[in-house]
Structure 1
Amino acid sequence: MRRRTLLATAALLPATRAFAQGNDWPNRPIRIVVPFPPGGPNDIIARLYAPALTAVLKQPIVIENRGGAGGGIGVDAVAKSAPDGYSLVISSSGSLVINPHVMNVPYKIPDDFTPISVVTLVPEALVAHPSLGVKTLPELIALAKRQPGRINIGTAGSAGISQLAAELFKAQTGIDITVVPYRGAAPAVVDLLGNSIQLLFADLPVILPHIRSNALVPVVLASRQRSPSLPDLPITAEHGFPQVLADNWYSMLGPAKLPAPILAKLSEAVKIASQTPEVRDGLASQGAQATWTTPADFTARLISESEVWRRVAQAANIRAD
Structure 2
Amino acid sequence: MMLTRRHALAASALLPVTVQAQGSGVPGWPARPIRMLVGFPPGGLPDIYARMLADRLGPVLGQPVVVENRIGGGGTLANEQTARADDAHTFLSTSISMTAGAALRAGRLNYDVLRDFAPISAISVVANGIFVHPSVPVNTIAELIALAKAQPGRLNCGSPGNGTSGHVTQEYFKLRAGIEMVHVPFRGSAPLVVDFLGGQVGVVIDNVPLYLPHVREGRIKLLAVTTPQRWPFTPDVPTLAETVLPGFDVRAWFGFVAPARTPEPVLEALNRLTQAMLRDPVIGERIRAAGAEPAPMSRAEYAAFLREDMARWTEVVRLSGATAD
| TM-score w.r.t. length of structure 2 | 0.83
Quote the Cα distance in structure 1 between the aligned partners of 2:83 and 2:219. 43
Amino acid at match of 2:82: V
Q: Which moved more, 1:127-136 or 1:63-72?
A: 127-136
1:274 aligns with 2:278: yes
Aligned to 1:102: 105
CA distance in 2, matches of 1:242, 1:117: 29
- What value does the CA root-mean-square deviation take over the aligned residues? 2.5
Give the Cα–Cα distance (whole angstroms) in 2 for the partners of residues 102 and 300 of structure 1.
Answer: 21
Q: 1:57 to 1:214 in 2, by over 3 A?
A: farther
Match of 1:37 among 31, 41, 46: 41
- Report the equivalent of 1:220: 224
Aligned match for 1:88, one of 88, 91, 97: 91
Distance 1:32 1:62, change over 3 A: same
The answer to whether 1:62 aligns with 2:66 is yes
> Whole-Å Cα distance in 2 between the matches of residues 287 and 97 of structure 1?
22
In 1: Cα distance, 2:66 partner to 2:119 partner: 20
| Equivalent position amino acid for 1:94 in 2 | S
Counterpart in 1 of 2:168?
164
What is the aligned counterpart of 2:133 among 129, 136, 143? 129
Equivalent in the alignment of 1:211: 215
Contact 1:57 1:269 in 2 (8 A): no
Between stretches 272-281 and 164-173, larger displacement belongs to: 272-281
Q: Is the Cα contact below 8 Å between 1:116 and 1:253 reproduced in 2?
A: yes
Rounded to whole Å, the distance in 1 between the matches of 2:294 and 2:63 is: 22
Which has the larger helix fraction?
A: 1
**What secondary structure sits across from 2:227 in the alignment?**
coil
Runs of 4+ in 1 over 4 A off after TM superposition: none
Is the contact between residue 52 and residue 276 of structure 1 (CA under 8 Å) also seen in structure 2?
no
Residue 87 of structure 1 aligns with an amino acid whose one-letter code is: T
Runs (5+) with no aligned partner, structure 1: 1-19
Amino acid at match of 2:91: L
Name the CA distance, whole Å, in 2 between partners of 1:101 and 1:248. 16
Partner SS state of residue 63, structure 1: strand
Cα pair 2:100 2:165 within 8 Å, conserved: no
Q: 1:110 and 1:214, CA in 2 relative to 1: closer, same or farther beyond 3 A?
A: same
Give the letter aligned to residue 101 of structure 2.
I
1:225 & 1:59 partners in 2: Cα distance?
A: 41
CA deviations 1:34-81 (Å, max 9, x no partner) are 122333332122113322333544543221222222212212222222
Q: Is the 8 A contact 1:29 1:62 kept in 2?
A: yes
Matched residues, number: 301
Q: C-alpha distance in 2, partners of 1:309/1:188?
A: 23
Q: CA deviation at 1:135?
A: 3.3
Query: Are the equivalent residues in 2 in contact too, given 1:48–1:282 (CA < 8 A)?
Result: no
Question: Are 1:188 and 2:155 an aligned pair?
Answer: no
Residue 240 of structure 1 deviates from its aligned partner by: 4.7
**Once the two structures are superposed, what CA deviation does each residue of 1:84-106 show, in whole Å capped at 9, x if it has no partner?**
3x211111221234235326211
The residue aligned with 1:10 is none
Residue of structure 2 in register with 1:118 after alignment: 122
Q: Distance in 1 between matches of 2:240 and 2:57?
A: 34
| Equivalent position of 1:312 in the other structure | 316
Structure 2 unaligned regions, length at least 5? 1-23
CA–CA distance in structure 1, aligned partners of residues 311 and 262 of structure 2: 25
Q: Per the alignment, do residues 21 and 79 of structure 1 end up closer, same or farther by CA in structure 2, a change over 3 Å counting?
A: farther
Closer/same/farther in 2, CA of residues 53 and 224 from structure 1, 3 Å limit: farther
Residues 57-66 or 105-114, more deviating: 57-66
Matched residue of 2:114: which SS? coil
CA shift, 1:83, in A, is 5.3
Structure possessing the higher radius of gyration over alpha carbons: 1
In 2: Cα distance, 1:254 partner to 1:83 partner: 11
SS in 1 for 2:135: helix
Paired AA for residue 53 in structure 1: L
Q: Matches of 2:171 and 2:200 in 1, distance apart?
A: 20
TM-score for the superposition, normalised by structure 1: 0.84
